[in-house]
Amino acid sequence: MKKLYRSETNKVFSGMIGGLGEYVEVDPTVFRLVWIVITVFTGLLPGIVAYLIAALIVPRRPHAA
């Protein structure tokens, strides 16, 4: 079963979009560009707030013991 985690290796800020890219097996650059376009066209604040909420909700990948 796949789970969504923030990326530890492919991150710019919190690894949220990198983790999303790893989850759906798509280059995270695509998601970053889409996120920028949506954020700009919705007036910045909704996109930034959505990113921050997602970064708080989605957990980091647990380290292997």
Q: What is the pTM of this model?
A: 0.84
CA dihedral 46, 47, 52, 53 (to 10 degrees): 60
CB 17 within 8 A of CB 32: yes
pLDDT digits (tens, 9 = 90+) for 19-41: 999 999 999 999 999 999 999 99
Q: With 80 as the cut, is the pLDDT of residue 65 above it?
A: no
Rounded Cα distance, 46 and 21, in Å = 21
pLDDT digits (tens, 9 = 90+) for 36-62: 999 999 999 999 999 999 999 999 988
Residue 49: CB partners within 8 Å, gap ≥ 6? none
Rounded Cα distance, 64 and 27, in Å = 25
CB 47 within 8 A of CB 35: yes
